[in-house]
Structure 1
Amino acid sequence: MTKKIAILFVCMANYCRSPTAEGVFRSRASAAGLDPFLLIDSAATSNYRIGHAPDPRSSDHAARRGIDLTGQRARQITLADFENFDHIYGMDRQNISMLKSACPPQYHHKIGLLMQFATRSDSDVVPDPYGGDVDGFELVLDYIEDAADGLVASLRAQIAAQSDAPGEAI
């Protein structure tokens, strides 16, 4: 068995976007048979909503697509996360800036935008839907589903390359 690849999704409050990314990615990774190889979590750059469940609008829209966010609770990123997670994906440039400010320099290479994996969306960031209307939550799901599919494909290749049994199907 290979070492689990640890993935962390981050937004400002861990209330809308990063819990959605965690939930969507868990679902996509599970459907692809990758869950035994992954550790998946989400966190906030701020301490605004620590301990809170995801925004009810995020949970409702995700549930309509078969994604369950109800077990999640917001937490703030810690220094240990930079060491312990292999990949840390922010939702927008402000998240990336805040992450890099808090991150020890030797771990900067772990930080990137989630939308770098998108193939069907033209945005390079996941916009914050919090202050907008319900259409924003649907757009966030569309973008995150696109990026999650690309990330699953990327990780399948990474897992296959480090597999203990060469040629083993994943």
Structure 2
Amino acid sequence: MTRLLLVCAANVCRSPMAEAVLRLRARELGLSEVASAGVFASSRPHPVDKRALTVLEQRGYGMDRRWRSRKVTTEDFDRHDLILAMDRAVLRGLKAMRPAISPAKLGLFLAGMTGLGLDEVPDPYYGSGSGFVQVLDLIEARVHTWPRDPATFGKDAG
């Protein structure tokens, strides 16, 4: 069973949305733990973006109203087997803060998916509500094509 950390920039949109969806499907995906964090998150915890919460609830995903954002810590690299970034900037941030010795595999959340026309989950924060719908569509598509061996996410990321 894999301990998964999902990471975006601030941990208020993409990664908490992915956390909500993957927590619901964790057992069938071979995940023992699903969490999220932000590589550039504020030290002050924030609730999930209301637009993200609305889109999640419209599709039947629940999220604890007490949930709060958090910043990636060096301990995350020991605690989680797999750390998936929503985009390349986040992945670069993760690589920069990764301890010299870490068992965690790093990768892009959409790694290996074909037919999407993109391999990063776009940040919807500064856009319209439709951006949050697109993010949830991508997260659900990833869940439907989840690899049998989650370690394949980290093959090219180092």
TM-score (norm 2): 0.84
From the two aligned structures, give the one with the greater helix fraction. Answer: 1
CA 1:75–1:139: 2 relative to 1, 3 Å: same
Give the aligned residue type for 2:101.
Q
Deviation for aligned residue 1:39: 0.8
Give the secondary structure class of the aligned counterpart of 2:61.
coil
Equivalent-residue separation in structure 1 for 2:128 and 2:63 (angstroms): 20
C-alpha distance after superposition, 1:63-87 (max 9, x if no partner): 1111112342101111010111000
Are residue 86 (structure 1) and residue 78 (structure 2) matched? no
1:11–1:18 Cα contact (<8 Å) kept: yes
Are residue 48 (structure 1) and residue 42 (structure 2) matched? yes
Are residue 113 (structure 1) and residue 98 (structure 2) matched? no
The total of aligned residue pairs comes to: 151
Runs of 4+ in 1 over 6 A off after TM superposition: none
1:59–1:70 Cα contact (<8 Å) kept: no
Structure with the greater alpha carbon radius of gyration: 1
Are residue 61 (structure 1) and residue 55 (structure 2) matched? yes
Give the secondary structure class of the aligned counterpart of 2:70.
coil
Give the aligned residue type for 2:33.
L
Equivalent-residue separation in structure 1 for 2:112 and 2:23 (angstroms): 16
Give the aligned residue type for 2:78.
E
TM-score (norm 1): 0.79
Aligned to 1:101: 96
Equivalent-residue separation in structure 2 for 1:111 and 1:104 (angstroms): 12
Give the aligned residue type for 2:98.
C
2:26–2:33 Cα contact (<8 Å) kept: no
Give the secondary structure class of the aligned counterpart of 2:94.
helix
1:117–1:147 Cα contact (<8 Å) kept: no
Give the secondary structure class of the aligned counterpart of 1:106.
coil
1:1-170 alignment, distance < 5 Å: 4-30=1-27, 32=28, 34=30, 38-48=32-42, 50-71=44-65, 72-107=67-102, 110-119=105-114, 121-151=116-146, 153-155=147-149
Unpaired runs of 5+ in structure 2? 153-158
CA 1:131–1:49: 2 relative to 1, 3 Å: farther
- Identity between Structure 1 and Structure 2 (%): 35
1:91–1:113 Cα contact (<8 Å) kept: yes
Aligned to 2:156: none
Unpaired runs of 5+ in structure 1? 159-170
